[in-house]
Amino acid sequence: MGTSARNAVVCAIVVALSAPLLRAAEKATTVVIVADSRHLTGLRGWWANLYNDSHLYFAIVTVLMIPLAGIILGTVADRLMALIGIDLKSRTLRES
């Protein structure tokens, strides 16, 4: 028996023996996705429980919080840059 014939036999044996391992499992009836909030307290615990209770409310609060956080962080950054002398409100370039 040649090398290519032996390889073909080995491949056929591997495929035949692995077929039961590759078949699909039983269909799942329901999938439940939850956040583990057992060790969380305060804001993080509230956030995880909001996710567990209602994905709709979680999505609404998330969509509202992201722009609010951007506004707050942008305002803080603008004030810090104004304190160190960077003026972002004027569009004139000052070159020395």
Separation in Å, CA 52 to CA 31, 41, 61, 62, 64: 13, 15, 14, 14, 18
**In this model, does residue 3 exceed pLDDT 80?**
no
Q: What is the pLDDT of residue 90?
A: 72
> Residue 90: inside a domain, yes or no?
no
> Residue 75: inside a domain, yes or no?
yes
Q: Does residue 26 sit in helix, strand or coil?
A: coil
* Mean pLDDT in residue range 52-76: 94
| Residue owning tokens 């615990």 | 45
What residues make up the domain containing 24? Answer: 3-83
> Residue 89: inside a domain, yes or no?
no
**In this model, does residue 85 exceed pLDDT 90?**
no
> Residue 34: inside a domain, yes or no?
yes
> Residue 65: inside a domain, yes or no?
yes
Q: What is the pLDDT of residue 96?
A: 54
Domain count, the chain: 1
> Residue 94: inside a domain, yes or no?
no
CB 37 within 8 A of CB 53: no
| Model confidence, pTM | 0.54
